[in-house]
Amino acid sequence: MNVQCFQHVPFESLGNIEEWIALRKHRLRMTRFFAGDGLPKADDVDFLIVMGGPMSANDEAIHPWLADEKKFIASAIRRGVKVLGICLGAQLIASVLGARVYPNACREIGWFPVRLTPAGRGASFFDAFPDEFSVFHWHGDTFDLPPGALHLASSAGCRHQAFSYQSHVLALQFHLDVRRDDIAAWISNGAEDLKHNGPYIQPPARLIGGDPPFERISSDMKSLLTAFEKPTP
């Protein structure tokens, strides 16, 4: 497949997703909005991955390219292209599907569990997952569930952690893609976020210290992607 990645800031890469792309021998192309890259040709994209970033999905006045990115995502969804959004990417998908994106009641930064809903337990891309599993979070915004979407997962700090739409669109508010070096880069670039207080903000030492489950989430990410890439019925 031709996999297109939308990257919003240089310090939020594909993480372990890039390992899966290489293993599956897919072709990867990057659109780096922070570097002024233009959008790809629509017909050249079989699988669109929209990554995270510190900006809001509503920040079109600050980042004008967000308007064109949203139009491209909406077009890809209408054409039946596989679309995966992570964190900001999930919020952008929610926005183009007509849902509201807004500040969550509290920030989530750290390792916290998410729990699958009944719809999530029935989703094929979560077949290898337990009902509850620990993931990495770094977000301040959330979204309403778009019309027609299936609510797949929740956490104590954020109700809408994942949804699917028409079987070819998947939005994950949480991260299975991160490696230790990725989180270290986020800590370096997101120091202001860590100054906030809240029940779901862990200190930097907890984010990369101890024994975070990097190996397990990498395996989970690859399992999810393999299931999600299968042809849509």
* Lookup: tokens for 5: 């990645």
> pTM score > 0.95 for this model?
yes
Q: What is the pLDDT of residues 90-124, one digit of tens each?
A: 999 999 999 999 999 999 999 999 999 999 999 99
- The answer to whether the CB of 141 falls within 8 A of the CB of 102 is yes
Q: pLDDT tens digits for 69-94?
A: 999 999 999 999 999 999 999 999 99
C-alpha–C-alpha distance, residues 158 and 172, integer Å: 12
Say which CATH topology domain 2-228 has: Rossmann fold (3.40.50)
Among 14, 48, 46, CA closest to 176: 14
CA distance 169 to 191: 32
CA angle 175, 180, 185 (to 5 degrees): 85
Domain-wise residue ranges, the chain: 2-228
CA angle 86, 183, 103 (to 5 degrees): 50
Per-residue pLDDT tens over the stretch 176-205:
999 999 999 999 999 999 999 899 999 999
- Per-residue pLDDT reduced to its tens digit, 16-61: 999 999 999 999 999 999 999 999 999 999 999 999 999 999 999 9
